[in-house]
Structure 1
Amino acid sequence: MTDPYAAALAQKDALAAKINKLNQQLKIAQLDYERAAEFISSWEHFAGIAKDKEGDTADSAVANPSKESVADAAKEVLIEKGEPMYRAPLNAALEEKGIIIRGKDPLVVLSTMLWRMKDVVPFHKGVGYWPANTDAPAGYMFDNEGSLKMALPNIL
């Protein structure tokens, strides 16, 4: 006969491992989704079919918030979210806060603004934007060069 307490502990450990594995799979799926959205946006931009929010082709330059205010708002959004984001979901989160980026391709405008403010919100290849001088979020770590990377699950 198996000790019920020991069986419950074993089940708890097995479920924790399963949850960890599923969280890793979810993060990978989110990254793939964000990469696909960025590819589509870039393709539309270079194909000349980028649309503004009303569906009309955007031709004229429009006033946007300053790159400094966008970087500050992006930093706030990322810290609130607690994980890195690519530009499409970051732009959506900024819009929810009332920060609207306009232009022929708003995602390109956003990434240009953040590139110019990389000392505040740098882009980390493979994971997205994350604020500078901020601890790595859960599930991530900084490598020796200071790039943010997804942490490998502890399997030992």
Structure 2
Amino acid sequence: MSRQVKQFAEAELQYWRKEFATTPPSLPLLTLAKVDERPVLKAYQNIRAGCRISVDTKAQNFHICRRIQATPFQFYLAALRALLLRYTIGGEDITIAVAESGRTYNVEDMDVIGPLYNLVLVRLLSHRSTKFEELLEATRSKTFTGMAHSKLPYPMLVKE
């Protein structure tokens, strides 16, 4: 690794170390859970759920996004955050991994073939009394900040 790449990686790591200087010991359980602790999983499975919103609701969501200068993705991420705030005990500190497309990378500087995507962590600290617009503004800010520091590969971030 060149000296310049090492300096860049260290600068990115400094941001993430500061962002996660204090983290909760484990993810909180949902208040809807019927158990007191997480069971040890023997196998993993996926569950898919769908939801459709009306055209009027979509228009209202876009109006809010325009006013706050947020994207629909950030709106729905904030809605998920609000849901997790409501249905978790001690869930004021949540980190969500977001897939980033790598469209901002200069491909000519990289020796890769294939899709360029990376997981970016978005840490959202909120209180139950936080209003949705404040959640959306915080989500917007944290998403943009995380994306600005997304060049560090996720496996390297986890390792460090």
TM-score range, shorter chain: under 0.3
**Higher helix proportion, which one?**
1
Q: Which has the larger radius of gyration?
A: 1
TM-score normalised per structure 1: 0.25
TM-score (norm 2): 0.25
Structure with larger RCO (C-alpha < 8 A, sep 6+): 2
